[in-house]
Structure 1
Amino acid sequence: METLESLRALYDQPFLPLVTRARATHIAHHPESEVQRCELVNIKGGSCPEDCRYCAQSARYTTGLVPHGLLDIPSLRRAAEEARAHGATRLCLGAAWRGLKERDGRLEEVCRLVEAIRGEGLEICVTLGLLGPTAARRLREAGVTIYNHNLNSGPSFYRQVATTHTFADRLSTLRVAQEAGLRLCSGGILGMGESVDDRLEMVLALLELDPAPESVPLNLLVPIPGTPLASQPPVNPFDLIRLISVTRIVLPRSRIRLAAGRRSLSPEAQMLCFLAGANSLFVGERLLTTPNASFDADHALFETLGIEPSAAKSCTSSPI
C-alpha cells in the first residue's frame, strides 16, 4: 500500500530513472503510441455560486465572462459532429453550478441533452458538480458513461481552493458516481500555490478509490484576471512531468490526460509528458473558459510523434 512517504520517495528520485520506469509501466498496460482525444463543451456557463479560486465561472469574481443558459439540443448535436470531425472519441459536457440532486429540474434537461447525442458514436462524460445517488443513476440511464469530478488538490490544501464545499464532498460525489455504475474521471490542478506533498496527497486519495479512476486529468492553472489566483506564477514543466510519471507508476491502467494549460507547454515538454505516460488530451481550440492548443499545432505534434487516436471504449450505457 502506497503512503505519502513512498510517493515522495518515488517523486524525488533522479528524473531520467523516474521517467524510464514510468515509460516501462505505460508500455506494459497501454498501446505505446495511442492517445485518446476528447472534446469539452460548456453546456451552461457562468453564475456559479461556488467560490473555487481558480474559476472564471464563479459569480463571486468579476472576470468578464458572459453567463449563458443551458445549451439547446441542435447546438449540442453540432458540437458532437464537430468533435467527431476533430478525431475525438469522448465528448465531455460541463455545467457551472453547485451540483444535481433528485427532483432538480435541471437534471432532466441535462438528460434530454445526453439522450439526444447518445447515438453519435462518442463516449459521453459529464461534469456537473456535486451529485446525489438518484441523479447519478438517472444520468447513467440517459447514456452517460463517465463522471468527471476533479479532486483538484490534496485534503490538506483544499481549504485554499474553495470554502463553499469540502474535499470530503468531492470524494463523496466520486463514490456516488461509482455506485451508480459510472466510470470516474478525476485529477487535479497544478499551480494554485500547493506543495508537492499536496499534489501527492491528491494522487493518494485517487489510489484509495475502488476501482481507480479510468481517467486522471492533470491541469496547469491558467491564471484568469479577476480570480484570486490571477497572479500565480507558471508551473515548471518538469514538475508536471514528474507528477505524470508518479501517477503512471501507481495508477498503471488509468488514462492520464493533459488538460487545461497545455497550450503553455512547448512541443518538447508535451513530448516528455507522453513519454512519461500521458495518453489522453483535449482537442479543440477552447476548453470551458480558457484557450487550448490550436488544431494546426496539434496536427504537427501528432505527426512528429507518430501519435495515433484511440477508439472509444463504449458509447452507450444500459439502464440499471
Structure 2
Amino acid sequence: MTNPLDELVTKALQRRAPTREEAAGVLTEEFDVLDVVAAAARVRRHFFGNRVKLNTIINMKSGLCPEDCTYCAQRLGSDSEILKYSWVAAEEAAEAAEAAAEAGAKRICLVASGRGPGQRDVNRVGSTIEAILRKQPDVEICACLGLLSAGQAEQLRAAGAYAYSHNLNTNEERYSEICSTHTFADRTSTVREATSAGLSPCSGAIFGTGESDSDVISLALELRELSPDSVPVNFLIPMEGTPLEGQWHLTPQRCLRILALYRFFFPDVELRLAGGREIHLRHVQALALHVANSMFLGDYLTSEGQTGDQDRRLITDAGFVIEGKEEATLPEQRQDLVHIRRRGVGTDVAPNV
C-alpha cells in the first residue's frame, strides 16, 4: 500500500498541488509531525539542496499607517509602543543594507508603512535602491510599499528593484475579518501589477489570526494562482495595542505542519521563514529549515529577531550552508524565460526585426 506522504512528495516533485483532502491530512493528526517534516524535506532538498538564503528588512517608514489590518502594530488606531518615524534617508538605508549584505544577506527588503506610495515616495525609494546598489551591486532589492498604482512597478524596476513583496495574509473568504480598508482583490491586483512589470513576485501569509485548516488550504490555492517566486510565512506576534493582542493560538507543531503543507504547494519556490519564527517555533527552528529554504536575518518591522550570530549558528548546526550571491535561488526549471513585450506596435520602441 502506498504511503500518502510518499504520494505527496511525488506530486510535489512533479510540481502538482495536493488536493484539499491531502492537504487536510497534513494539518491534522493523521500523520506524525516528524513524518510530515521528513516528507517535505525531501522536496526541499530536491530543489534547493542544503542552501539557506538570507534576507533582511529595512523599515524605511514605521507606524502611522491609515489601514486597519488587525494583526499589525502599525495600523490605524494602534496603541502599540512601536517605533514611529517618517522616511529614513537613502544613505542611512544603504549603510544598513551594506551591513546586512556583509553579514550574509542576499536580498534586501525595503518596506514602508502606508496604503501605497505616492510619486514622491517612489522617487525616494528609487534613490535608495540606487544608493544601495552603488555599495552592494550584487544584492537583490525587494520593495514592499503597499498597493501600487499604474506605472509604479515599472518605475521601481527601472530604478533597480528585483522583486516586489505584497502578502495576501489570509484567504479571500475571511479577508474582511482582518481588514476593512482594502480588499483581497486590491492585494492580488498589486501582485499581478508587479509581475507584469517584470518584478519577481513575492507574496505569502500570516498565520495565527484565527484561520481554520480550510482557510490555510484556501490561501495556498489562491497564492498558487499568482505563481509567486517567494512565499514568506509569518506567524502572528499578537502585539499589545492591536485587536489580536493576547491571541496565542499557535504551537511549534502547528507551525511545522503549515510550513510542510506550503512546501508541498510550492515545491520549487523560495519558502521563507519570516516574522514570529523565533517566538512560535522556538527550539524546533532547525527542523523548520528542513522545510523552508530561506529566512530573515536580523530584526523585523516592529519586533526584534535573534542576533545574526544566533541565526548563522542555527543554520550551520542544522547542517545547512548560507546561499551565496553568485548562486541562483530558484531551480533552473523555474527561471523566467518569458519577457513581457515592451517594444514594437503600441510603443515608442522599434520592433525586434
User: Do both proteins adopt the same fold according to a TM-score greater than 0.5, normalized to the shorter chain?
Assistant: yes
- Structure 1 residue 123 corresponds to structure 2 residue 136: no
How many residues were matched structurally?
311
Output one character per residue of 1:134-180: Cα deviation in whole Å (capped at 9) or x when no partner. Answer: 00110000011111111111112211111101111111111111111
Kindly provide the amino acid, as one letter, of the partner of residue 276 in structure 2. Answer: G
Correspondence for 1:8: 24
Correspondence for 2:89: 72
CA distance in 2, matches of 1:113, 1:164: 29
Q: CA deviation at 1:310?
A: 0.9
For 1:18-33, list aligned pairs within 5 A: 18-31=36-49, 33=50
1:262–1:293 contact (8 Å) kept in structure 2: no
Correspondence for 2:257: 242
For 1:220-231, list aligned pairs within 5 A: 220-231=235-246
Q: CA deviation at 1:219?
A: 0.8
Output one character per residue of 1:10-57: Cα deviation in whole Å (capped at 9) or x when no partner. Answer: 4444134432321221122112x2100011000111111000111111
- Structure 1 residue 305 corresponds to structure 2 residue 318: yes
Correspondence for 1:184: 201
CA distance in 2, matches of 1:151, 1:224: 20
Specify whether residues 179 and 226 from structure 1 end up closer, same or farther in structure 2 by C-alpha distance, changes over 3 A only. same
Identity %: 37
Correspondence for 2:287: 272
- Structure 1 residue 294 corresponds to structure 2 residue 311: no
How much is the aligned-residue C-alpha RMSD, in angstroms? Answer: 2.1
Specify whether residues 108 and 60 from structure 1 end up closer, same or farther in structure 2 by C-alpha distance, changes over 3 A only. same
CA distance in 2, matches of 1:17, 1:65: 40
Q: 1:283 pairs with 276, 289, 297, which one?
A: 297
2:166–2:202 contact (8 Å) kept in structure 1: yes
Correspondence for 1:196: 213
Correspondence for 1:253: 268
1:21–1:249 contact (8 Å) kept in structure 2: no
The unaligned stretches of length 5 or more in structure 1 are none
1:260–1:287 contact (8 Å) kept in structure 2: yes
Computing the radius of gyration over CA atoms, which structure comes out larger, 1 or 2?
A: 2
Output one character per residue of 1:74-112: Cα deviation in whole Å (capped at 9) or x when no partner. Answer: 2011111111122111100100010136xx221111111
Q: 2:182 pairs with 165, 173, 180, which one?
A: 165
For 1:73-152, list aligned pairs within 5 A: 73-100=90-117, 104-119=119-134, 120=136, 121-152=138-169
The residue matched to 2:173 in structure 1 has which SS? coil
Output one character per residue of 1:164-218: Cα deviation in whole Å (capped at 9) or x when no partner. Answer: 0111111111111111111111111111111121111111111112xx2111111
For 1:50-65, list aligned pairs within 5 A: 50-65=67-82
CA distance in 2, matches of 1:213, 1:267: 27
Specify whether residues 109 and 54 from structure 1 end up closer, same or farther in structure 2 by C-alpha distance, changes over 3 A only. same
The unaligned stretches of length 5 or more in structure 2 are 1-16, 329-338, 343-353
1:3–1:204 contact (8 Å) kept in structure 2: no
The residue matched to 2:151 in structure 1 has which SS? helix
CA distance in 1, matches of 2:210, 2:217: 14
CA distance in 1, matches of 2:244, 2:51: 34
